[in-house]
Structure 1
Amino acid sequence: MKSMISMIVLALAAGPAFADTLPVPVQTITGAVLDVSASGESKRVPDIATVSAGVVTQAGDAAGAMRDNAARMDRVIAALKRAGIADRDVRTASISLQPQYRYENNQPPVITGYQATNTVTVKFRDIAKAGAVLDALVATGANQISGPELGLDNPAAAMDEARVDAVAKARARADLYARAAGLRVKRILSISEGSFDVPRPLPIMMRAQGMVADAAQSKILPGEQALNVSLSVRFELE
């Protein structure tokens, strides 16, 4: 008896380190096991639009192309600030400088000039105003625009709603199979999340300042998006 008490005292003194070595009880499964996959969905109207806006310039020398590009991009950034776009919502996406070549038969390529490109990613938190801002960017020097990517600024609540929907669908499907087999669902043994999907629209492109007149009517329509979550749920039937 004293020996057993001593072992208990030592175990308590060892604390968590000893507890980690204790075996984990294994749940006994006495009934049939059913695996069900289900996809849940929630729908929301997008509240943000992300657009890439860039300036492409060409010059006979590299310094000239970069200098002209920087000046025009400064005007684009100033236009964004005048439109009320916060600094946190403007991010440099890429800067590049590439030589331009002329190719002739049986001749090595000849550099004819340089092309500089500077692109920023802009997040619009007021989608209704995004089209007008894009028009202003083109008017101030942007000649490369792509987007929009529409989405939710905080999709967590919508994703949780889709998860709840997926679990409910999995349980309804399990009940259906159980009734067909003359059984009932006893419990859920495990739930694993396979994938989630936030759809994005295909990007649209506008290029060159010559499109300013056409871009004067630019509008971005948010529509509605479906967010999907896929789950695998294991049930025990009895």
Structure 2
Amino acid sequence: MHAPSLLLFVSLLVSSLPAAAQYPTAPTPGQRSVSVSGSAEVKVAPDEILLNVGVETRHPRLDEAKKLNDESVRAALALLKRDGVPDKDVQTDYISIEPRYEYESDNRAALTQARAVPLVYVVRKSIGIRLTRVNEFENVLSGLLANGVQYIHGIEFRTSQLRKHRDAARALAVQAAKEKADALTQAMGVKRGAVQSISESYSGGWWRGGGGWGAGGGQMMQNVMQNAGGGEASEGGALSVGQISVNASVNATFAIE
């Protein structure tokens, strides 16, 4: 008895729905945008130096080669202690023992029968050093080379305030990106709108020079200091720690109004 009334109510309800609900509208086109990049470089003086040096000794007997190496390392560590370098900033981080052989053969045609005869043992150790008194770098290095150290494996000039300098470089990079976006949009007769996306990247904060067990310490040291940058030489010395760069880059996309 109530079926016709129910059907009439449902029909009226469907016919009253908005047209958009019955027929979805097409998506609106994406907003116009401009993508730019900005970069900045901040030059700072390093306030700490990471130095890695090496000691190498040779002897036909392994125990003597190790003994000579231990003596040279002790001399280097004693020099660092006299120069006031804290124990926590000194670490032995590489040790190797390499026997050098002369190969002989009972039958020259049969190399598989060759026997190895050790001629000499080569013992190597490296010492990692962190210097926070940068102005004493030259004296410490000269003292190490005069007290058992033969090799300079690496020198790294760093800043302990890397976060602060990265923040400064990032702020400059953001400003550069905004100015570039303003220049582009103004040239096209439009205005820069709100930022839609942004990303950042960093580099720098240190400068590294490297050597190796086969590298000549004096020549490598000369090259390191020539490439370190244009700072002033330490008073009374010939070496300069120069400056290091902290770089930041920003990629940003802005809406166009």
The answer to whether the superposition gives a TM-score over 0.5 is: yes
Name the residue aligned to 1:221.
Answer: 240
Are the counterparts in 2 of residues 127 and 220 from structure 1 also a CA contact under 8 Å?
no
Percent identity among equivalent residues?
28
1:178 aligns with 2:185: yes
Name the residue aligned to 2:44.
Answer: 44
How many residue pairs get aligned? The number is 203
Are the counterparts in 1 of residues 38 and 173 from structure 2 also a CA contact under 8 Å?
yes
Q: Give the structure-2-normalised TM-score.
A: 0.71
Residue 103 of structure 1 deviates from its aligned partner by 5.1
Would the alpha carbon gap of residues 192 and 138 (structure 1) be closer, same or farther in structure 2, given more than 3 Å must change? same
Are the counterparts in 1 of residues 156 and 208 from structure 2 also a CA contact under 8 Å?
yes
Are the counterparts in 2 of residues 195 and 231 from structure 1 also a CA contact under 8 Å?
no
Q: Which runs of 5+ in 2 are unaligned?
A: 1-27, 219-235
1:63 aligns with 2:63: yes
| SS in structure 1 at match of 2:68 | helix
- 1:38-70 CA distances to partner (integer Å, 9 max, x unpaired)? 212111111112211221001112222222211
Q: Distance in 1 between matches of 2:254 and 2:61?
A: 69
Residue 131 of structure 1 deviates from its aligned partner by 1.1
Q: Distance in 2 between matches of 1:40 and 1:220?
A: 28
Q: Distance in 1 between matches of 2:100 and 2:237?
A: 32
Residue 114 of structure 1 deviates from its aligned partner by 0.8
Q: Distance in 2 between matches of 1:104 and 1:177?
A: 76
Name the residue aligned to 1:187.
Answer: 194
Q: Distance in 2 between matches of 1:206 and 1:133?
A: 18
Q: Distance in 2 between matches of 1:223 and 1:207?
A: 20
Would the alpha carbon gap of residues 206 and 49 (structure 1) be closer, same or farther in structure 2, given more than 3 Å must change? farther
Are the counterparts in 1 of residues 54 and 127 from structure 2 also a CA contact under 8 Å?
yes
Q: Give the structure-1-normalised TM-score.
A: 0.76
For the aligned residue pairs, the C-alpha RMSD in angstroms reads 2.5
Residue 154 of structure 1 deviates from its aligned partner by 2.2
Q: Distance in 1 between matches of 2:104 and 2:137?
A: 45
Would the alpha carbon gap of residues 218 and 116 (structure 1) be closer, same or farther in structure 2, given more than 3 Å must change? farther
Larger radius of gyration: 2
